[in-house]
Structure 1
Amino acid sequence: MDANDGFRELDRQECLSRLAEAPVGRIVYTRQALPAVLPVNFSLERDGAVVVRTSAVSDLVSAVDGAVVAFEADAVDVTTQSGWSVVVMGPAALVTDPVEHARLLRTGPRSWVPAPQEVFVRIAPELVTGRELVGGRTLYGVHLPS
């Protein structure tokens, strides 16, 4: 961390710990050759993979299956002007194995908008990065006025 930028880089384990506490994140993907961002609830696997449950007929499924995507979650405290952000990047794939699908039905994320036929999308954690804003509006331990 540069002494003046106010950010601290998070290591992989810290990133995954923060991510495990977040109730909602955002999947970033390409839709019709343009960037798209969609908020989703999710679960985190032990290896750091992000799992999203969605409708089998959603536009999201066809757009991300086999594509490299980013997934971001964060927490912000506006009072202290502090927070963190974690990004997971890697290929997304539809879970097609029946045994794995059955396991995720029991242990995976619950859909906030249930659909007649739901599928799971797994994002492999090829790159996991994160940073924390420490101190908010402080400089060298002195609180700065807003």
Structure 2
Amino acid sequence: MNARRLTELSREEALELLRGVGLGRIVFTEDALPAIRPVNHLVDGDAVVIRSHTGAALTSSVNTVVAYEADDIDPKEHTGWSVIVTGIAREVTDPAAVERYKSLLRPWVDRHMDRVLRIHPTFVTGFTLTNGHPHGVR
């Protein structure tokens, strides 16, 4: 098996990769325990935007710290990338912004999505995994 090289990404590089995919996982607290849900997203500026519905467990994360993770890892080669955004989830309440996000971000489940959440990142981290040894060292 080839060695893998892990390279840390800059904030800008990580956000650019995140813009290129539409599915990730939000990590939040539910009843004092960690919870994870797959959701689709878009990146607007440096904020991650997701849609949800009233009564969903993740709507309890409004005004709290959450993490959002997305990746593209080849299961056979074990190469690719992963990005994590950590920040405060806020509900989008401006009607024009809500309508804009509804038009740009289609739900991937068959359910009425009436809530829009925006994660304002405090931290953006990420890495790539590539084949090979750093600097040609074996």
- TM-score norm. by structure 1 comes to 0.83
CA distance in 2, matches of 1:64, 1:75: 25
CA distance in 2, matches of 1:117, 1:74: 24
What does residue range 3-14 of structure 1 map to in structure 2 within 5 Å? 6-14=5-13
Relative distance call for 1:103 and 1:7 in structure 2 (3 A) is same
State the SS of the aligned residue for 1:29. Answer: strand
Instruction: Render the CA deviation track for 1:81-125: whole Å, top value 9, x for unaligned.
Output: 211110001000111111211221222x11122434511011002
Residue in structure 1 matched with residue 114 of structure 2 by the alignment: 118
Shift in Å, 1:49: 0.6
**Structure 2, unaligned stretches of length 5 or more?**
none
Shift in Å, 1:40: 0.5
**Structure 1, unaligned stretches of length 5 or more?**
none
CA distance in 1, matches of 2:76, 2:109: 32
Shift in Å, 1:139: 4.1
Of the structure 1 ranges 64-73 and 110-119, higher mean CA displacement relative to structure 2 is found in 110-119
Q: Is the 8 A contact 1:25 1:72 kept in 2?
A: yes
Amino acid at match of 1:131: F
Q: What RMSD over aligned residues (CA atoms) do the two structures have, in Å?
A: 2.1
State the SS of the aligned residue for 1:96. Answer: coil
Q: Is the 8 A contact 1:29 1:69 kept in 2?
A: yes
The one of 86, 99, 105 aligned to 1:102: 99
Instruction: Render the CA deviation track for 1:64-96: whole Å, top value 9, x for unaligned.
Output: 110010000001112322111100010001111
CA distance in 2, matches of 1:118, 1:25: 20
Q: Is the 8 A contact 2:91 2:118 kept in 1?
A: yes
What does residue range 1-146 of structure 1 map to in structure 2 within 5 Å? 6-45=5-44, 47-61=45-59, 63-107=60-104, 109-116=105-112, 118-135=114-131, 138-139=132-133
In the alignment of these two chains, the number of paired residues is 135
Higher relative CO (Cα under 8 Å, sequence separation at least 6) belongs to: 2
Amino acid at match of 2:34: P
Give the share of equivalent positions with the same residue, in percent.
40
